Chains A and B, each alone.
Chain A
Amino acid sequence: MDISERLNFYESYIIKLKKRIKRLEENPDPSRLKVNKMRYELELEESLSILEAWKEGRPLSNGGDMTAGILTKAMGFVPAGSVGAAFQTMTPQKYLEHARTRGLPVDRSCDMTMMPFSMMEMGDLPLEDIAICDQHACTPMMLRGIYMSVKGEILTYFIDIPLEQNDEAIEYVSAQLEEFIAFAEKKFGGMGIKYDEEKLVELLELRDRIEATNLEVYELLKTKPCPIGGYDVFLLVGVEIPSKKALEYALARKEEIAGRVKKGIGAIPDEKVRLMWTTTRPFFMDPFSPLAKYKANVCFFYSGPVGTWAPFPGRIFWKKPNLSPLERVAAHALSDQWAHSGSSWVDPIIWICRDLGIDGIINYNMVGCVATLGLRRIIEEKAEKELGIPTLQLEGKQWDSTFVSSERIAEKLEEFAQICLLMKGN
């Protein structure tokens, strides 16, 4: 048995992060951002604090991740970080196998739906003391939450997120959050859990500043050649729970990217094709090198609200001025395009492609992603009709490499890069 299998996720991840930071200090990759070291330090700090809280038995909650993570933190819960952990595990197959043994539809679902709860059930991640289950992301994520609640392993609080994005929906979600606060304070008050509005406002302000910084980064991505490449583009995905250190990292990243723009440094200096990548990517391979062979660069990653730092129309959907702190949490939960109408997912893709001068879209057809698969043809038709650019429908999973092989994916990416070149007259 590998030593990493005797440690829980955080124990092995901390070792991995320390090694990674050391490697970046000793031998940095010149093609990547230097500031990534800071990101890993931030992750190390968060992982250490979660591990410590877990060992001390302090109350843990992710607050439904994108829904009320910021609120549960303001109430004194420690984030358990399960979704981020799923992205970083080195042993995905064992968790997918575990879900299979439970009779869950692993081969028909996206890996992300299956991984975090398997990690919790196997003891590699802490079980949340209270989970929020809602539909902010997609139907399978909601079903996963219901499954965990009926199994009786996690106390679960259900919050209904409507399909509509408007002021009434904000009021509705916000009222449910108020009920959640009362419930959680009653249940965990003895453990020091209490709603702290000042703390929430402080966290919201930090989030605003991080978001504003990331929107400045978006403007820098318009530069040709694009200052960063695929791996760093994927790291632009926001930090879910804001902190002072996360803000420092966002600011430093913006400065470094701005510096690259000033010096005319591009991830691919003689960039010929600018691509957008949607949804998610295969984490079991390097999907960017096959594109780089043809001077094609992934300049933008589109993945719902956290990945989409772009000022597309409709992003601010509410009309009411001066939302209360809780209403702001509700508005954020409602901003997630995955769960809403098809046009709220597709229209920003088209807008951003036009704005950034994108030459082609790699639409990742993640197996089991009910939120996006039914929209693939619409994206393809709109991209062709409105922008005259091609779309690659790339089928695959996130961690399960047995579904579509790395070689097949690389082949398809190379072919697509060549098509884009041809369409640009190269």
Chain B
Amino acid sequence: MRKILEMNQPENRYKHVYEWKGKGGKVIGLISNYVPEELFTATDILPFRITGSWRENVQHAKVYRPENSCGFCNHVLESYLAGEFDILDGIVAADIDQDVVRLLDVMSYLKRIPFIYIVHVPFTNRSELNYRYFANELKRLSQKLCRIGGKEITDDDLLCAIKLHDEIRGLLSAVYDMRKREHPPVSGEEVLRLISSVCVMPKSEALKELKVILPYIRTRKANLKSLSPRLMIISDMLDHPGYLDLVEATGSVVVMDDMDLGSRYVYLPPANGEEDPFFSLARRYLKRHGSARMATWGEQADQIIAWVNEFKVDGILGLPLAWCYPHQYRIPYLVFRFDQSGIPNIFIDREYHLSNVGQLRTRIGAFIESLMKEGKKWT
């Protein structure tokens, strides 16, 4: 289990990329899980989730981007400028917000990597029109990928890839189910490590590894400092496990999350047998529990509140990036909804890289303390 949990650590992150490239394969970096990995798998391209530099200093990126902007984008650009992504055959992102679009604009301008592509993801799923447009976007992307991968994609290829990814999601959701236990088998930090590792591995290998470790996880009890309070984390672009380690080391257990490298990677509505697999993918990705950039804040709050009950969550800890506009704008509404439902909550801004640890420990510790005083609801 240790092996798979370490795959997205800086020293191992590119291991599979080099191996894949060594066999003559192509690798594309992905920003945002609104770009379906299935399309890449179907064209024999390794989808590789982009992680930015975890170093504090982003001096090169500052030349192109103002410091007071999305930390994730700044750190990704720093890695790009340092040549860390030169091994990749391209980078594909979803237009989840304009900061990401501008990041890709700078990458295109600098021409370090031959293929830079942005997929438009509708911000609303109000109408069938939105699914159809997104399905066409995915078709356009797959045509580009076919040219890079040198392989035509058939419906069967895509259905096969969808099946593989669904199987992985199925195993991960089994892990999530086990987090409902009084003593979860895995810590929040381990779950983050697990999912971020899956996102940089060839999917057939990830599936194999997951099948091996799942029986062990079923019998395991996580090594935790405390079994309560039980927290849910809300964040995005949180890939440094140190943050969740900090939360749990302060005396809590993370049992659920609303994160792109978390529940939003794991849970996707089921396929319903549509004839066109592109349309099926488009519908499933747009209908799943949305991120803050989707216009479904009401449904998002409903889902989070449902999870609070399902996972017996004592409190919600939001760790938004300081300059992430979708999160920052959604916070007042979520606070309103959580307060209305009597769910203790706190939102604390953070940087992308692990920093301000002392301050965070104090603030998180105070929140945990207040939960303990209030009396735990579930444990």
- Residues of A that sit less than 8 Å from B by CB: 102-105, 108-109, 133, 135, 138-140, 142-147, 149-151, 158-160, 162-164, 168, 172, 175-176, 179, 339, 341-343, 365, 367-368, 370-371, 373-378
Contact = CB atoms under 8 A, between A and B. Distances in A.
13 contacts: A103-B332, A133-B295, A146-B330, A147-B297, A147-B332, A159-B124, A160-B124, A162-B133, A339-B98, A342-B101, A343-B105, A343-B108, A374-B69
B109 A104 contact: no
B120 A375 contact: no
Interface in B81-100: 95, 97-99
A143 B105 contact: no
Contact of A158 (B109, B295, B331): B295
Contacts of B70: 370
Interface of B: 63-66, 68-70, 73, 95, 97-99, 101-103, 105-106, 108-109, 118, 120, 122-124, 126-127, 129-130, 133, 136-137, 293, 295, 297-298, 322-323, 325-326, 328-333, 335
B120 A373 contact: no
A180 B98 CA distance: 25
B102 A370 contact: yes
Contacts of B65: 373-374, 377
Given A138-B98, A162-B120, A172-B129, A376 B109 contact: no
A376 B293 contact: no
A176 B127 CA distance: 8
Main DSSP-derived SS at the B contact region: helix
Given A163-B101, A375-B105, A103 B335 contact: yes
Nearest to B122: A160
A376 B66 contact: yes
B333 A179 contact: no
B331 A150 contact: no
A179 B126 CA distance: 10
Contact of B329 (A143, A164, A365): A143
Contacts of A135: 123
B106 A168 contact: no
A168 B132 CA distance: 12
A343 B127 CA distance: 30
Among the interface residues B101, B108, B118, B298, which one has the most CB atoms of the partner chain A within 10 A?
A: B101
Given A377-B63, A378-B105, A140 B325 contact: yes
Contacts, number: 127
A32 to B, nearest CB: 34
A374 B127 contact: no
Contact of A104 (B95, B122, B332): B332
Contacts of A133: 295
B269 to A, nearest CB: 20
Contacts of A158: 123-124, 126, 295
A339 B101 CA distance: 9
A169 B127 CA distance: 15
Nearest to B65: A374
A158 B124 CA distance: 7
The 5 closest A-B pairs by CB, nearest first: A374-B102, A342-B105, A103-B332, A158-B124, A143-B329
Contacts of A159: 124
B102 A151 contact: no
A143 B324 CA distance: 11
Which of B66, B69, B106, B330 has the most chain A CB within a 10 Å cutoff? B66
Contacts of A150: 297-298, 333
A175 B122 CA distance: 14
A375 B335 CA distance: 34
A102 B332 contact: yes
B133 A172 contact: yes
Given A341-B101, A365-B66, A108 B129 contact: no
A370 B63 contact: no
A135 B326 CA distance: 13
Contacts of A373: 65-66, 69, 102
A283 to B, nearest CB: 21
Given A151-B333, A342-B108, A374-B103, 16 more contacts: A139-B97, A143-B293, A143-B326, A160-B124, A162-B122, A163-B101, A168-B136, A172-B129, A172-B133, A339-B98, A342-B106, A343-B108, A370-B98, A374-B65, A374-B99, A375-B102
